[in-house]
């Protein structure tokens, strides 16, 4: 089971140190590409640290909306989104090469991630753009939804993602941020990660037990105590005989 985390979303020594510490625990890093967060120095430092540790580097493009951290739906035209995403990925590809690594996967961020799960036009355009990239990179997304469907239709490999620290509703979707109970506490997140990895299921907020196919478990880098949580999840998986390794 892969463990992934979003990073390069903070700047300065404290942000770089937080990224480096997480990279000692996870197996795949989703690096902010300058849209919702990140700058070239932060990207380089994250990519270099990942490459040194053998952690896979992923592009984490989002809406160009730093004010809202890319978590507000902007209702942009699909063509403009593709232009912005392609530019962000291109920048990270260059920086990753300079840092001694390469981009192996792509995971949209925030509001863009959620839109790509339901907007078939956008999902198809993203898949077409990614399929034209060298490699091409793996798409990291939930197993069900427009993006995964479009990626597979385009001949792309799609790694299925689940979340340790976010609650699921009865439809198998993440409970929106800001809703009571949407962010799980430390113990709840560990239990959910183990359930996902061991049984490929989650317990929804309405009590339903839902099947969830997963290749990678995400711990959000900006979740309070993210390092401690990711470390505990890694230990819990290993102690239950589940190997922690990259999907790429």
Could you give all domains of the chain from N- to C-terminal order, each with its CATH number? 2-239 (3.20.20.370)
Taking 90 as the threshold, does the pLDDT of residue 178 lie above it?
no
Three-class DSSP category at 2: strand
Give the containing element (helix H, strand E) for 43: helix 40-53
**What percent of the chain stands above pLDDT 90?**
91
Q: Are 65 and 88 in contact (CB under 8 A)?
A: no
Q: Are 73 and 115 in contact (CB under 8 A)?
A: yes
Tell me, yes or no, if the pTM score tops 0.85.
Answer: yes
State the DSSP code for 174: B
Looking at per-residue pLDDT, the higher value among 63 and 15 belongs to 63
Neighbours of 77 (CB within 10 A): 10
Q: Are 44 and 36 in contact (CB under 8 A)?
A: no
- Mean pLDDT for 73-79 is 97
Taking only the tens place, the pLDDT of each residue in 189-207 is 999 999 999 999 999 999 9
- Mean pLDDT for 163-176 is 94
- At 67 the pLDDT is 97
Model confidence band, residue 10 (pLDDT cutoffs 50, 70, 90): confident
How far apart, in Å, are the Cα atoms of 116 and each of 1, 142, 159, 193, 204? 24, 10, 15, 24, 22
The rounded mean pLDDT for the chain is 96
Give CA 127 to chain center in angstroms: 16
Taking 90 as the threshold, does the pLDDT of residue 224 lie above it?
no
Taking only the tens place, the pLDDT of each residue in 91-149 is 999 999 999 999 999 999 999 999 999 999 999 999 999 999 999 999 999 988 999 99
Taking only the tens place, the pLDDT of each residue in 38-56 is 999 999 999 999 999 999 9
CA dihedral 179, 110, 69, 94 (to 10 degrees): 160
- E-strand stretches of 132-238: 138-141, 158-163, 201-203, 209-211, 216-218
Long-range own/partner contacts, residues 206-213 (CB < 8 A, 24 or more apart):
206/169, 206/170, 208/170, 210/168, 210/170, 210/172, 212/143, 212/162, 212/168, 212/172, 213/143, 213/160
Place of tokens 């939930």: 142
């Amino acid at each position: 089971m892969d463990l992934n985390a979003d990073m390069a979303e903070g700047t300065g020594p404290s942000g770089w140190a937080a990224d480096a510490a997480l990279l000692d625990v996870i197996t795949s890093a989703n690096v902010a590409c300058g849209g919702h967060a990140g700058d070239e120095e932060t990207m380089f430092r994250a990519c270099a640290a990942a490459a040194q540790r053998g952690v896979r580097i992923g592009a984490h493009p989002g809406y160009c909306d730093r004010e809202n951290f890319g978590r507000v739906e902007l209702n942009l035209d699909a063509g403009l989104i593709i232009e912005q995403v392609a530019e962000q990925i291109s920048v990270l590809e260059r920086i990753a090469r300079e840092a001694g690594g390469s981009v192996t996967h792509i995971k949209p961020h925030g509001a863009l991630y959620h839109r790509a799960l339901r907007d078939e036009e956008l999902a198809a355009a993203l898949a077409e753009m990614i399929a034209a990239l060298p490699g091409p990179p793996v798409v990291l997304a939930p197993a069900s939804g427009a993006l995964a469907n479009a990626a597979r239709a385009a001949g792309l490999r799609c790694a299925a993602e689940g979340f340790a620290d976010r609650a699921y509703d009865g439809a198998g979707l993440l409970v929106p941020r800001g809703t009571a109970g949407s962010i799980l506490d430390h113990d709840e997140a560990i239990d959910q990660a183990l359930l996902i990895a061991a049984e490929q299921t989650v317990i929804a907020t309405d009590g339903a037990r839902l099947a969830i196919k997963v290749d990678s478990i995400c711990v959000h880098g900006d979740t309070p105590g993210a390092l401690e949580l990711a470390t505990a999840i890694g230990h819990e998986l290993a102690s239950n005989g589940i190997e922690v390794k990259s999907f790429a």
